[in-house]
Amino acid sequence: GAVVSQHPSWVICKSGTSVKIECRSLDFQATTMFWYRQFPKQSLMLMATSNEGSKATYEQGVEKDKFLINHASLTLSTLTVTSAHPEDSSFYICSARDMANEKLFFGSGTQLSVL
Amino acid sequence: AQSVSQHNHHVILSEAASLELGCNYSYGGTVNLFWYVQYPGQHLQLLLKYFSGDPLVKGIKGFEAEFIKSKFSFNLRKPSVQWSDTAEYFCAVNALNTDKLIFGTGTRLQVFP
């Protein structure tokens, strides 16, 4: 089946640094990708919808200047957490919609720990 | 705003027991409904989905779910669970006029041999 590769799977960084997370669709093209975050024992919360070649659409309460999203190609979207703080520590998951059949596939997630 | 409730946070069963996980959503319009599963150390995978038609939907690995519109529910069932069904299960809703999935908080299922 279709695969979405998310990298890195886990990252530890110092407070104030920036972290980039990549989401790649390996065998299909995706004009739309989604970024979620999940706190322990809570639901996946949609952060933003990433559209290839245009600006991302952010959900209410998500700071677009802090969570920079770039979707420069049909197979890659990146999420950069800028000036990370400990409260940004969370599990981030991406998903990608296959243009050919509209099916949605998820990445394996990135555990971010900010010290 | 749309929301999804999964009332069972942690379910423990013995093999061969029957399973039913509750899922209720709040949205007045037409929705698509999904159940996803996340096995330990793996990514989310689609178990089954309901778009329209027969409200009883059959998915992979012997799972099924029934959409009851009047109850705003989409409960997941399996008549006889296996140890390999141990995983986290997420219910999700997508309103027809949006591209967004709204997830429930998930239910952790543990099946003991």
Decide if A41 and B9 are in contact by the 8 Å CB cutoff: yes
Q: Report the alpha-carbon distance of residue B28 to residue A10 in Å, rounded.
A: 39
Mean pLDDT of B5-27: 94
pLDDT at residue A1, as a whole number: 63
Q: Tell me the per-residue pLDDT of A61-71, one tens digit each, with 9 for 90 and over.
A: 999 999 999 99
pLDDT surpasses 80 at A41: no
pLDDT at residue B100, as a whole number: 78
- CA distances B54 to A35, B5, B9, B23, B81, Å, are 31, 23, 28, 18, 24
Decide if B102 and A46 are in contact by the 8 Å CB cutoff: yes
Mean pLDDT of A23-43: 89
Q: Tell me the per-residue pLDDT of B28-74, one tens digit each, with 9 for 90 and over.
A: 788 889 999 999 878 788 899 998 899 999 999 999 999 999 999 99
Residue with tokens 């979405």: A4
Decide if B44 and A41 are in contact by the 8 Å CB cutoff: no
Q: In the 8-state DSSP scheme, what is residue A59?
A: P
pLDDT at residue B6, as a whole number: 94
Q: Assess A104–B contact: CB distance below 8 Å, yes or no.
A: yes
Q: Which residue of A has its CA nearest to B91?
A: A43
Decide if A43 and B101 are in contact by the 8 Å CB cutoff: no
Mean pLDDT of B88-102: 83
pLDDT at residue B30, as a whole number: 83
Q: Report the alpha-carbon distance of residue A98 to residue B95 in Å, rounded.
A: 19
Q: Assess A46–B contact: CB distance below 8 Å, yes or no.
A: yes
Write out chain A residues lying below 8 Å of B102, CB-based.
46
pLDDT surpasses 80 at B97: no
pLDDT at residue A36, as a whole number: 94
Decide if A106 and B100 are in contact by the 8 Å CB cutoff: no
pLDDT at residue B80, as a whole number: 97
Q: Report the alpha-carbon distance of residue A91 to residue A39 in Å, rounded.
A: 6
pLDDT surpasses 90 at A13: yes
Q: Tell me the per-residue pLDDT of A63-100, one tens digit each, with 9 for 90 and over.
A: 999 999 999 899 999 999 999 999 999 999 999 998 88
A46 alpha-carbon distance from chain centroid: 10
Q: Report the alpha-carbon distance of residue B103 to residue B90 in Å, rounded.
A: 7
B96 alpha-carbon distance from chain centroid: 18
Q: Where are any strands of DSSP class E within chain B? A: 3-5, 10-14, 19-21, 24-26, 31-38, 45-50, 56-58, 64-68, 73-78, 87-95, 102-103, 107-112
Token digits for A2? 């279709």
What amino acid occupies position A73?
Answer: S
pLDDT surpasses 90 at B95: no
Mean pLDDT of A97-112: 88
**Angstroms from A4 CA to nearest CA on chain B:** 9
